[in-house]
Amino acid sequence: MELFNKNIAEEVAKNLLEIKAIRLNPESPFTWASGWKSPIYCDNRLSLSFPEVRNHIKHALVGAINENFPGVESIAGVATAGIPQGALIADEMDLPFLYVRSKPKGHGMENMIEGKVTPGQKVVVVEDLVSTGGSSLKAVQDLKNAGFEVMGMVAIFTYGFDIARKNFEDAGIKLICLSDYSAMLPQAVALDYASDQDLKSLEEWREKPEIWGK
């Protein structure tokens, strides 16, 4: 799990904060589906509503793919937030696009993968956000089960949890992210979205998110 480019990491973090795709509230934390209390909420889908930000992210992801995964033959988005990002990238790169559901469609063909399945095709997976990596790596396995050669994954943002790093390493999947939590914190302070006093709490959450706020 690595960042594509330090300058891009700072720019993407700044953009996501400015459009409020990333929200910080250590005093009144958000509750994730897992039950974890969190001072941050990240919804990168908001970037789709801002053409300048959307295009900056698209071009950065294309750059990350070209540099790290030469020879890619198709792009796969992870449902649901990875679908529009993946489609934008596939269009820019003039490559086939498909997407992976979290569970099979409940009717019709009951597909897990939507799009043309071509066994042996080299595919790069697109995510908008990586937390622990569980759902992302499930999509990778579904693609492998269908016969694709998964070259790796790109994502807009990651919290940088150690468990995510371990999960990707154990799965043997290279993950390239445009930005992460560590790159975001200085930008949040610079933009007055977080104070120097908030930093301690925000950094504590990053280290032990499962017990933070309890």
pLDDT in tens, 146-190: 999 999 999 999 999 999 999 999 999 999 999 999 999 999 999
Say whether pLDDT at 213 is over 80.
no
Residue 73: which residues within 8 A CB-CB, separation 6 or more? Answer: 95, 96, 118, 121, 122, 123
Alpha-carbon Rg for the chain in angstroms: 17
- How do beta strands 22-24 and 40-42 pair? antiparallel
pTM of the predicted structure, to 2 decimals: 0.93
Residues flagged as binding site: 101, 105, 107, 127-135
Structure tokens that stand for 11 in this block: 């720019």
Structure tokens, 199: 């930093």
Binding residues for 5-phospho-alpha-D-ribose 1-diphosphate: 101, 105, 107, 127-135
**Which residues contribute to the annotated binding site for orotate?**
131
Give the pLDDT confidence of 125-140 residue by residue, as tens digits: 999 999 999 999 999 9
Q: Please determine, for residue 73, whether its predicted confidence score (pLDDT) is greater than 70.
A: yes
* pLDDT band with cut points at 50, 70 and 90 for residue 23: very high
- Tens of pLDDT, residue by residue over 92-117, are 999 999 999 987 765 555 689 999 99
Find, among 148, 90, 101, 155, the residue nearest to 123 by Cα. Answer: 148
pLDDT for res 105: 62
